[in-house]
Structure 1
Amino acid sequence: MGESMTWVQAVILGIVQGLTEFLPISSSGHLRIVSEVFFGDDAGASFTAVTQLGTEAAVLVFFAGDIWRIMRAWFRGLFRAEHRADHDYKMGWYVILGTIPIGILGFLFKDDIRTVARNLWLVATMLIVFALVIAAAEYFGPKKRTLEQLTLKDGLVMGSAQALALIPGVSRSGGTISAGLFLGLDREAAARYSFLLAIPAVVASGLFSLPDAFEPSGEGLNASGAQLLVATIIAFAVGYAAIAWLLKFVVNHSMYWFVGYRIALGVLVLALLGTGVISAT
């Protein structure tokens, strides 16, 4: 049985979740690293999944108008053929179908995701390796197509890329945005679809993990219900600000800024592991 989480740890990890969920730097990887480096233990996959409900609530609020418009168009198109040419109707299907890969793989490998995938050697390596993928996407991606030009193929490819985020260190937004750039979407279009695509998967993951989070039985830091609630609220507030910042940032700045940060952090973690300062598990 792991140690009880303190309130300071819950607040810090809530801030980390909010800051990193939408940036292409891996929130699960950062929670794993921060909890190990500063607290000497793992916050746990369940804590990560539940606090992600806060950041996904931020997406729901930030994109409420878009979500309502897409849902309304989707339901109209289900019953009236003349509405099926509407891009919002198609977008509804793109989000639904794009969620299938991560849903299937998340279910099949749920035990590995909670255990071996959280090894810090793997997390640090993925930070570096996927930084190179993001750099390649930024360099080779034409970045000419808008969100209105998104196709079913784009949705399925980006949905498959999202599934890579089951490995801490990859990054959900990093995977989907990179795939979007390779497909020719501009940065803002790729980021917006990335946020919309994440909603079903992250909400389902968070709800699925609630029982484990409230009744922890494994190793790592164990948060109380009150701590989970506070951390989730903090993640919501910080995450909302992070969404607004990222959408403005990607309009005029390249993804190379995140590439440099990922590589530097990955190398630092590998050095700390190699010298025995921190433990990989």
Structure 2
Amino acid sequence: MTWFQALILGIIQGLTEYLPVSSSAHLVLVPWLLGWRSDERLVFPFDVLVHWGTLVPVLIYFRHDLWAILAGGWAGLRKGVPFATPEGRLGGWILLATVPAEILGLLLKRSIEAVFLQPVLVGALLFGTAGLLWLGERLGRRERDLGRMTVGDALVIGFAQALALLPGISRSGATMAAGLGRGFLRPEAARFSFLLSIPALLGAGLVALGDLYRIGLPPEAMTPILIGFLSAALSGYLAIWGLMKMVRRRSLRPFAVYCAGIGALTLMLSLLRG
């Protein structure tokens, strides 16, 4: 893997992790479309550590929310009522919504990994992301804030996040669409989606780091990983900032059109390549 490929893949990871277009799909499809060939020993550690690069911007952007959630939860815990405050309850909803993806990810790990080797299937699954976004915008009432979240809301959004274990189904797209479908305001659905990404990224990263520890990190991987990590962190912050501004005024339908277009392009190219 060259430094240029690491830079491009890091930028793609950062942008698509938070934009509702599926980061996993782009990381599979871009090298396939461009005909890039990477050392198999480098691909896994690069993906793992660059994925963690996208955790940095969400921690920075939502640092005030995270501090309020931790402070509220700790204050309530000391009194024996950890979910008594709005911030404490929000933290509880985030933890509850994390459970479905964590359980299914562990149970279906090998089956899901096999999908990453099939670019055509990944392209087809992008139509799923397009459909979820379109339905969320079409059916959502967009009148509730996160202070009115219920157990049912958290579980629906959590199972939507579990769908994104499949490459091609966007995690942010699925969770935002589910939030819209449950009647949340678009900025509130986006905010919960981003906060929900924190335990998801941490959990997935820890599991992958365990695998990486057993495999070992090749010395030649350090430079591309550093370039990819930094570019993913910077582009990820720009993606969060831009999307949070956008959802205050505009719908997510352009992303649905984009996902459908990339999916169609992938299927057409696969037919042409035979």
TM-score with structure 2 setting the length: 0.91
Post-superposition shift, 1:126? 0.9
Deviations for 1:188-246, whole angstroms, at most 9, x for unmatched residues?
Answer: 101100011111111121232235457769xxxx9713322221111011101110000
Displacement, 1:127?
0.6
Counterparts in 2 of 1:229-268, with a 5 A limit?
A: 229-268=226-265
Task: Let me know the Cα RMSD of the aligned residues.
Answer: 2.1
Q: Percent identity?
A: 39
Residue 269 (str. 1) matches residue 266 (str. 2) = yes
- Name 2:33's counterpart in structure 1: 37
Structure 1: tracts of 5 or more residues without a match: none
Q: CA deviation at 1:115?
A: 2.3
Distance 2:79 2:96 in 1: 20
1:168–1:47 Cα change, 3 Å: farther
Is contact 1:51-1:235 (8 Å) kept? yes
Q: Distance in 2 between matches of 1:44 and 1:183?
A: 38
How far did 1:75 drift?
Answer: 1.5
Does the 8 Å contact 1:165/1:175 carry over to 2? yes
Which residue is 1:224 aligned to? 221
Provide the residue aligned with 1:179 in structure 2.
Answer: 178
Determine the structure 1 residue equivalent to 2:86: 87
* Letter in structure 1 aligned against 2:9: L
> Kindly tell me: are residues 109 and 224 of structure 1, through their superposed partners in 2, closer, same or farther at Cα, counting changes over 3 Å?
same
Match of 2:22 among 17, 26, 34: 26
- How far residue 44 of structure 1 moved from its aligned partner, in angstroms, is 4.7
Distance in structure 1 (CA, Å) of the matches to 2:252 and 2:3: 34
Corresponding residue of 2:69? 70
For 1:118 and 1:243, the matched residues in 2 are separated by 29
Q: What amino acid is the match of 1:232?
A: F
Q: Distance in 2 between matches of 1:102 and 1:84?
A: 22
1:15 aligns with 2:11: yes
C-alpha displacement of 1:129: 2.5
Query: Does structure 1 retain, via aligned residues, the 8 Å contact 2:115–2:166?
Result: no
Stretches of structure 2 lacking an aligned partner (at least 5 in a row): none
- d(CA) in 2 for partners of 1:154 and 1:49? 30
| Displacement over 6 Å in runs of 4+ | none
Q: Name the aligned partner's letter for residue 244 of structure 1.
A: W
CA distance in 2, matches of 1:8, 1:215: 28
After TM superposition, the structure 1 stretch with the greater mean CA deviation from structure 2, 79-88 or 226-235, is 79-88
Q: Deviations over 1:157-180 (max 9, x none)?
A: 111110111101100001100100
Contact 1:83/1:89, CA 8 A, preserved across alignment: yes
* Counterpart in the other structure of 1:57: 56
Structure 1 residues 256 and 236, CA gap change in structure 2 (3 angstroms): same
Distance 1:144 1:238, change over 3 A: same
TM-score (norm 1): 0.89
Give the superposition deviation at 1:116: 2.9
- Deviation of residue 82 (structure 1)? 6.1
Is the 8 Å Cα contact of residues 57 and 236 (structure 1) preserved in structure 2? yes
